[in-house]
Amino acid sequence: MALIRHVGVVITDIDKSLDFYVNTLGFRVSKRANESGKCIDNFLNLEHTEVTTIKMSDDNGNILELLHFSSHPDKSDNNKVRLLNEIGCSHFALTVDNLDELYLSLNSKDIKFNYPPQVSDDGKVKVAFCRDPDGTFIEMVEEL
């Protein structure tokens, strides 16, 4: 059986992303490294890679890895609004204690949500989707 080790998110601005994930969501930075060379080139199937990786963890030891490429800047249309039904990784989910309180806090920091928190049809969870500073969808889930 495979276990999820971490989720990697490519970012454009290290300071903005650290502010969001550390100061707003409460992750802790456990390792920061500047990586280059043949090994990382092989892992990522790129050439002449220069990437800063920042591994962060939550209270349960779950790991989120931010990747900032100083080589190979993203050439996709960053102004295009990504939809949750597009092929590929659409989002990752975080379990939170008090979604209504977090929603108000994030909203006051201009973090955009698809819709205010709402209870699922089965009544077991309250859910809201927001975006990080680069537009990556994050599902916030409070177990009821």
Tell me, what's the pLDDT at 85?
76
CATH number at residue 28: 3.10.180.10
Q: What is the pTM of this model?
A: 0.86
Measured CA to CA in angstroms, residue 59 lies from 30, 39, 62, 128 at distances of: 12, 31, 8, 21
Domain closes at, from 69, 99, 115: 69
Residues 64 and 98 in one domain: no
Domain closes at, from 34, 69, 104: 69
Nearest to 34 by CA among 17, 51, 47, 18: 51
Tell me, what's the pLDDT at 2?
79
Residues 55 and 99 in one domain: no
Residues 10 and 59 in one domain: yes
Please report, in tens digits, the pLDDT of each residue of the chain (144 residues total). 877 899 999 999 999 999 999 999 999 999 999 999 999 989 989 999 999 999 999 999 999 999 999 987 776 666 667 777 776 788 999 999 999 999 999 999 999 999 999 999 999 999 999 999 988 999 999 999
Residue 78 lies in a domain: no
Residue 108 lies in a domain: yes
- The parent domain of residue 129 ranges over 91-143
Number of structural domains in the chain: 2
Residues 12 and 63 in one domain: yes
The whole-angstrom separation of Cα 139 and Cα 120 is 13
Tell me, what's the pLDDT at 1?
80
Residue 23 lies in a domain: yes
